[in-house]
Amino acid sequence: MRVLDWLRARAKKRRTVQQDWLARLPEDKLHLFELTANDLEMHYVMLSVALNEALGMRSRGALVRAREEAAVSADLAGLFAGRLLAALRALEECGRHFVDLPLVTPLKMVHFRGAAAQFAASWSHLFHHALLSGRLRFFHKLGALSRMVEDLVQQYRETAEEIASGVSTDPAHDWNLLDHFHYDLNTCLRETIVLLKSFLCALPAKEVHAFEVRLCEFTTQTVPSGQHSRASM
C-alpha cells in the first residue's frame, strides 16, 4: 500500500493534461512548440489537400487524374508521417533523461475510424490502465502512437499505390480506406501535439535547447533526398 500511496501522491502533484494544455509557456518553450506544431500541421495540410483533390477528381469522373493525385498523396503521407515520428522519437529519447514526466490520457477507440487503428487504440487503452506508473504510461503512449503512425502510413501508401497503378480490385473500398487512414493520422497528430505541449510544460528550462537540437536532428533525418524542395513549400 505504501508504494501505491506514494504513486498516487506523486500523480496529484502533477498537473492534468487539460491544465498543461491551457498553461502559458515561457517564450522559448512557446516558440519551439509553435514552430514544431506548425510544421506538423503544414505537412498534414499538404496531405489533406492532395487527398481532397484526388477525391474531387474521382467524383467528377476524372479517374486518370484522380489516380495520379493519389500517388502524390502517398508521397506526402510518407513525408508527414516522417515528421510526426521524428517528434515522437525526440519526446521518447529526451524523456528518458528526466524523472518527472507529464501525465497522459489513454488513446480512445472512438477517436479512430479504421478497424486496425481502433483495435490498437482499444488495446492501448487497456494497457494504460494496467500500468501503475505515470512514467510507464507516458512511454507506452509514445510507443503506441509511433507504431500506429507507422502502420497507418504503410497502409495508406500501399492502398494509394494500388489505386494509382490501376490494380485495385475494389476501388470504391480502397478510396474509402484512404479517407479512414487520413482521418486516423490526423488523430495521431492531435495526440502528438498535446503530448508535446505537456512535455514542454514539464521540461526544465535549461533543457529546452538540448531538446530542440534533438528534435531538429530527428526531423532532418526523416527528409528523403529530393524532398527538401517540397518540404519547404
**pLDDT tens digits, one per residue of 130-183:** 988 899 999 999 999 999 999 999 999 999 999 999 999 999 999 999 999 999
Per the CB < 8 A criterion, the answer to whether 70 and 164 are in contact is: yes
Using one digit for the tens of pLDDT, what is the confidence trace for 19-71?
Answer: 999 999 999 999 999 999 999 999 999 999 999 999 999 999 999 999 999 99
DSSP states along 139-197: HHHHHHHHHHHHHHHHHHHHHHHHHHHT--S-HHHHHHHHHHHHHHHHHHHHHHHHHHH
Per the CB < 8 A criterion, the answer to whether 94 and 76 are in contact is: no
Three-state secondary-structure class, residue 135: helix
What's the pTM?
0.88
| 231 has a pLDDT exceeding 70 | no
